[in-house]
Structure 1
Amino acid sequence: MPTNDSRTLHLSIDSLNMRIVGVILATLLAQQASAQLADVDWWKTTTFYQVYPRSFKDSNANGIGDLEGITLKLDHFVDIGIGGVWLSPVFKSPMKDFGYDVSDFREIDPIFGTMADFEELAQGCKDRGLKLVLDFVPNHSSDEHVWFNKSIAREDPYTDYYTWRDPKGINETSGEPIPPNNWLSVFGGSAWEYNEEREQFYLHQFVAGQPDLNYRNPLVVTEMEDILRFWMDKGADGFRLDAIPHLMEDQTFPDEPPSNDPEFTPDQWGSLSHIYTADLPELYPIIYGFRKVVDEKQEELGRQMVMMVEAYTSLENTMKYYGEGDVKGAHFPFNFEFITNVNNETTASELKEIIDRWQNALPSGAWSNWVIGNHDRTRVASRFGRDFSIAAITMGQLLPGTAITYNGEEINMEDTWISWADTVDPQGCQAGPEFYEKFSRDPVRTPYQWDDSVYAGFTIPDSEKPWLPVNGNYEELNLAAQKQEENSPYAIYKKLTAMRKDMNAVKSGQLGTSTVGENIFVFTRYLQSADEKSVLVVVNLAENEVNADLTGVPTLRSGAMITYHVGVNSSYTAGQELSPSSVNVPARGSLVFLYTNAASTTVLASLLLVFSVILSLLH
């Protein structure tokens, strides 16, 4: 028979065991929550807003937007939940390609203002908790840059700052020098321009006024790295690197093979397969070097930087920009899947496949992102229509990763038809009056529509004519009007960015994707915690309303209810609770619901099973 002392000892051991289990349980749950919420840096959870400066806000009535105009509108970014303001180029430029032809990488172009204006903008961003990101154009300079003029004169060390080649020969008929090979400019026509003074051709993968820099020259690499340091010292919090696939070319300069694509004429870029002028493996170490510079400056200045890369290329090549092994590349390369692979014919299963393919391709530890539109491609509202554009923006905001917004998307701005006479984009001008509408980027770059006053509030009524025409729909489609509407694109956008800021499920939750029938795509964002709200997004790709049964969606437990939060053309009201067995999803629309994650019950049950085993072992 056990003594009182032995019973007391046994009870003490049981009590100790329960305490141990309690500590283990608390520790495991804390670790689980910590793992899901750790390492969520500012650039991961924010929305970056691309400002096209010429078209955002004109402060001095010359018809062109400027830095002071952006500063005047900084509170707009705060209002709509933006965290990072990304500027398209504002550096000194002859504007042959509207700022992407830089004649001085360390100066602000007078069209946009002064260095003092930039510093005021940077301080204004800092005062409001906004991050300021600059476009960096490393592939080329302007032909008016001092480097290029010295390179023409063969003045060292600039002789080989650019790619120069001797003529292939002389045309017997015209007497003109023959280009070194058949390489074409992205904008059409030969990628080679003859310089009479140097008596050689120089390479330009874009317009002739944008000679390609020679990244096989280490002096060029060092020069561009120093420019990154300069702007971080001036207040920039990071960079978006432009046109990166074109940094390197095959040094044997062979002809490129035809693409055999009947859509393109022989002088158009798409008529060739660009196996010698794009995506060369040598370019990736250059990007990794830029990241090293950014990280070193981050350490020196004590503020976190970001480096984003623009690259229209294959998924495999895109993923290489993240880095190689322990060598870091971009924080993220832009994800253009919604621009290049989603269209009005896309089915629910295809949309799921597109999203899953990107997510599954990410290297271990890499961070995703979603670009819905930009200054080079048709506006999302014109691509998809006014309703599905909001669905696309909803997905871009709530899928895992960083969200990117092009100015005007938050109010659903549309493309503006531009006549040939008003066309100024070099890509459109190069195509000529017959093809300009196919290639011109002017329609997506028209002035921001602030209100229904003359010129949509972009500039004052008696100012010079805006550099591009304002869309004729500005009287009905403008920010001021949408601020008065309860469920306007602006109002929906604000709710979505608020979710990114406030909900842990959106910041760091897991992703589940599924389909219901041919036209309903569903994704969930969830955490393994019974105390956290999870997110359910339902997207209808059909032209008609669909009643969907969502009970088969993973993480929705049997009998669970869902709460409506925000959507397009919805018959539900915010906060309304309903059964997932019968959900009316409007045509080409999206609905966002909140729910309690069912998976947490499973996780807790599994943990309790483990602890019961531990208890039995302790006994």
Structure 2
Amino acid sequence: MTTRQRHHVPDAIHTNGSASNPWWANAVVYQIYPRSFQDGNADGYGDLKGITSRLDYLAELGIDAIWLSPVYRSPQDDNGYDISDYRDIDPMFGTLDDMDALVSRAHELGIKIVMDLVVNHTSDEHAWFQASRDKTSPKSDWYWWRPAREGCVPGSEGAEPNRWGGTFGGSAWEYDEERGEYYLHTFSRKQPDLNWENPEVRHAVYDMMNWWLDRGIDGFRMDVITLISKTIDANGRLPGESQGLIPDEAAGEEGYSSPWPFSMDGPRLDEFLQEMRAEVFEGRTDYLTVGEGQGISPVRNEHITDPANKELDMLFLFDHVGVDQDGAKWNIGQLQLPELKRAMVDQQTAVASKGWASLYFNNHDQPRALSRWGDTSTEESRVKSAKAIALMLHMHRGTPYVYQGEELGMTNAGFTALDQYRDLESINAFHQRVEDAKVQSAESMLDSLSKVSRDNSRTPMQWDDSRYAGFTPADAGVEPWLAVNGNKAEINAEGEVADPESVFAFYRKLIALRHTDDVVSSGSFTAIDVDDAKVYAFLRVLGDRRLLTVVNMSSERVSLPVETYLRLTDGLEADKVLIANVDIDDLTSSVAKGELSAWSAFVYEI
């Protein structure tokens, strides 16, 4: 792999006379899931030294910033999203000195470091929570503590304050014998929710964020940040605490009701985000804030990311990654392309004049989009569809996010048995749906897990074709924490970096195009032929320049939709094809016939 010093992305770009944009408007962010990226000490888990050893690879790819999933001290109940000390590094990943070294080396290469921020909840092992278990402690109301339901024996079945269910199954309330009350946990019982209504909580969080920024990091990706404001009444009570607002017979597989309607995009969210901006980021430059946006509509995204409102730079929305799910995550259907297009168009339209979009299909919580929406039946179709999906996403207006291994065309894990999984959500869901609620058979649920389990994206990074794919040394005497994908011999970085036709090489071209072409980074977006079931087409326009993106999102040769074809009736001029995943001569011949071969994708200046 080539080591090189890549140019530093400027703090602002200018686009054909338009207003100056922040650095992240023409940047590409790369997400690293640390425990699966590179094992630097041969213990089977990825770590900070391992990441630092691979930074030259990322510089070669051309990315501008790294989003680092949590590396804080943690009991690892939910793979680090349960933090017990915000100001320390978990020994699994290394030390604070290792973190400083990573930041320093990344900055030398012109790469910014964005850390995950998990402040809707902490670990139940955090000192704040342990103190709050004492009703006389100054931190007694730092979490959502509530007594048993009136007339019920504390700790007994059905005595929870209301009938909210946790995202990972069971009740959203856990009884604590030491305090004699219940605490709220939207996720695992080991992840108690912080009480953001308490200003002391908020300012403790802001102090911590400032500490990390002063240490040299460049911003935060904010986990479930849109859940921090809960709906409460004038007396500070949550829904269901009084007069049965959420009845015992609430709908749900286990008789529980979701708390999310009362916590997603809550009444004080804007206030909290504006306060955070003022307390943490005011006077700072060159940082990035991106929030995980559960419950956020495209219209609300516009408001939150509008610079005039001083909240966040961008949000991850969810509508587009749920278009093939029927009601529940585990009910998976075939992708209907017009549904995906409409979700993407809604997001693009909402931020057409103000605000900003994040662009992603993959991350640590999603299965591999290539396995989900592409064609992995042959090596040729895997490579071609990986490039097509990438081109389609990256040509939208917004900031693209690349999840580790996506740039190689990595695929789902291929697991067939429950004991192969490590993901808490997946394991709990299997037991609940198969054994408790009995809404799926074991065979059906294993099929669902193979398609959408979070472990599909968490298998170790495939660096080479050795026993453990170069993630852990083959002779180390330990196995990786999660099994390596069986296709490591066909899909690995060593084989792709030097191959000009690889998926990696194609991602390099896409990233470079965003850096160098103002239309890609700043042009307007207009969808074409939204109802076409096979072809995804749209225009990007800036000044007098127009770029047409056309992608055949199917494994079939298709006819070009009429509205798209009308823009190409004069045929293609090879020098106006900015990027394509097929031979230009073959593409020109196909377009002349009004056709596209399977998974063909190109960008053309018209």
TM-score range, shorter chain: 0.7 to 0.9
Question: Structure 1 pair 543/296, CA: closer, same or farther in 2 (3 Å)?
Answer: same
Q: 1:548 pairs with 533, 545, 560, which one? A: 560
2:509 paired with 1:492: no
Q: 1:445 pairs with 437, 440, 458, which one? A: 458
Q: How does 1:300-339 map to 2 (within 5 A)?
A: 303-315=285-297, 318-319=300-301, 322=304, 326-339=308-321
| CA distance, structure 1, for counterparts of residue 373 and residue 307 of structure 2 | 39
| CA distance, structure 2, for counterparts of residue 76 and residue 137 of structure 1 | 28
Does the CA-based 8 Å contact 2:230-2:263 persist in structure 1? yes
Shift of 1:494: 1.2
2:602 alignment partner AA: V
2:347 paired with 1:358: yes
| CA distance, structure 2, for counterparts of residue 393 and residue 335 of structure 1 | 18
| CA distance, structure 1, for counterparts of residue 527 and residue 302 of structure 2 | 25
Q: 1:372 pairs with 361, 364, 380, which one? A: 361
Aligned residue in 2 for 1:536: 548
CA offset digits 1:336-361 (Å, max 9, x no partner)? 34412368855554444333221222
Does the CA-based 8 Å contact 1:400-1:509 persist in structure 2? yes
Q: How does 1:19-98 map to 2 (within 5 A)?
A: 33-35=16-18, 38-98=19-79
| CA distance, structure 2, for counterparts of residue 475 and residue 409 of structure 1 | 16
CA offset digits 1:369-426 (Å, max 9, x no partner)? 2111111111111211234443222122111110011111111111113432233222
| CA distance, structure 1, for counterparts of residue 418 and residue 91 of structure 2 | 28
Give the greater-gyration-radius structure (CA): 1
2:520 paired with 1:506: yes
Shift of 1:325: 8.9
Aligned residue in 1 for 2:330: none
2:538 alignment partner AA: F
Question: Structure 1 pair 286/557, CA: closer, same or farther in 2 (3 Å)?
Answer: farther
Aligned residue in 2 for 1:462: 475
1:541 alignment partner AA: M
More deviation in 387-396 or 188-197? 387-396
Does the CA-based 8 Å contact 1:191-1:203 persist in structure 2? yes
Shift of 1:265: 1.6
| CA distance, structure 2, for counterparts of residue 174 and residue 222 of structure 1 | 33
Question: Structure 1 pair 218/39, CA: closer, same or farther in 2 (3 Å)?
Answer: same
| CA distance, structure 2, for counterparts of residue 551 and residue 181 of structure 1 | 54
CA offset digits 1:220-272 (Å, max 9, x no partner)? 0101111110110111111011012321323322337589999x62257xx64
| CA distance, structure 1, for counterparts of residue 361 and residue 310 of structure 2 | 26
Question: Structure 1 pair 397/374, CA: closer, same or farther in 2 (3 Å)?
Answer: same
Does the CA-based 8 Å contact 1:349-1:515 persist in structure 2? no
Q: 1:425 pairs with 408, 423, 426, which one? A: 423
Aligned residue in 2 for 1:163: 144
Shift of 1:335: 3.4
Aligned residue in 1 for 2:97: 116
Aligned residue in 1 for 2:273: 287
| CA distance, structure 1, for counterparts of residue 410 and residue 461 of structure 2 | 8
CA offset digits 1:465-497 (Å, max 9, x no partner)? 111000111111111122343322112111111
Equivalent pairs counted in the alignment come to: 551
| CA distance, structure 1, for counterparts of residue 590 and residue 387 of structure 2 | 24
Does the CA-based 8 Å contact 2:472-2:479 persist in structure 1? no
Q: How does 1:173-572 map to 2 (within 5 A)?
A: 178-251=159-232, 252-255=237-240, 265-266=253-254, 272=258, 274-298=260-284, 303-315=285-297, 318-319=300-301, 322=304, 326-341=308-323, 345-346=334-335, 349-362=338-351, 364-385=353-374, 386=382, 387-418=384-415, 419-433=417-431, 434=434, 437=446, 438=448, 440-463=453-476, 464-515=478-529, 518-529=533-544, 534-548=546-560, 561=573, 563-568=576-581, 570-572=582-584
1:489 alignment partner AA: V
Question: Structure 1 pair 475/259, CA: closer, same or farther in 2 (3 Å)?
Answer: farther
Q: 2:84 pairs with 94, 103, 122, which one? A: 103
Aligned residue in 2 for 1:602: none
Q: Percent identity?
A: 35
Residue segments in structure 2 that go unaligned for 5+ positions in a row: 1-13, 326-332, 375-381, 435-441
Does the CA-based 8 Å contact 1:287-1:321 persist in structure 2? no
1:582 alignment partner AA: K
Shift of 1:593: 3.2
| CA distance, structure 1, for counterparts of residue 217 and residue 542 of structure 2 | 34
TM-score of the two chains, using structure 1 as the length reference:
0.82
More deviation in 115-124 or 379-388? 379-388
CA offset digits 1:555-574 (Å, max 9, x no partner)? 76967745444434x24359
Shift of 1:33: 2.3
Question: Structure 1 pair 509/461, CA: closer, same or farther in 2 (3 Å)?
Answer: same
Question: Structure 1 pair 583/95, CA: closer, same or farther in 2 (3 Å)?
Answer: same
Aligned residue in 2 for 1:9: none
Question: Structure 1 pair 49/523, CA: closer, same or farther in 2 (3 Å)?
Answer: same
Shift of 1:294: 4.0
Aligned residue in 1 for 2:4: none
Does the CA-based 8 Å contact 1:169-1:177 persist in structure 2? no
Shift of 1:279: 2.7
Shift of 1:293: 3.2
RMSD (Å), alpha carbons: 3.0
Structure 2 residue matching 1:455: 3-state secondary structure: coil
Question: Structure 1 pair 146/475, CA: closer, same or farther in 2 (3 Å)?
Answer: same
Does the CA-based 8 Å contact 2:359-2:401 persist in structure 1? yes
TM-score of the two chains, using structure 2 as the length reference:
0.83
Aligned residue in 2 for 1:149: 130
| CA distance, structure 2, for counterparts of residue 244 and residue 546 of structure 1 | 42
CA offset digits 1:437-486 (Å, max 9, x no partner)? 44642222110001101100001112221110001111111111223433
Shift of 1:506: 0.9
Question: Structure 1 pair 402/396, CA: closer, same or farther in 2 (3 Å)?
Answer: same
Does the CA-based 8 Å contact 2:296-2:317 persist in structure 1? no
Does the CA-based 8 Å contact 2:360-2:393 persist in structure 1? yes
Shift of 1:172: 7.2
Does the CA-based 8 Å contact 1:321-1:333 persist in structure 2? no
| CA distance, structure 2, for counterparts of residue 259 and residue 173 of structure 1 | 17
| CA distance, structure 2, for counterparts of residue 285 and residue 580 of structure 1 | 52
2:371 alignment partner AA: S
More deviation in 311-320 or 184-193? 311-320
| CA distance, structure 2, for counterparts of residue 314 and residue 90 of structure 1 | 27
Aligned residue in 1 for 2:11: none
More deviation in 247-256 or 548-557? 548-557
Question: Structure 1 pair 199/363, CA: closer, same or farther in 2 (3 Å)?
Answer: farther
Residue segments in structure 1 that go unaligned for 5+ positions in a row: 1-30, 598-619
Shift of 1:578: 6.8
Does the CA-based 8 Å contact 1:549-1:582 persist in structure 2? no
Shift of 1:524: 2.4
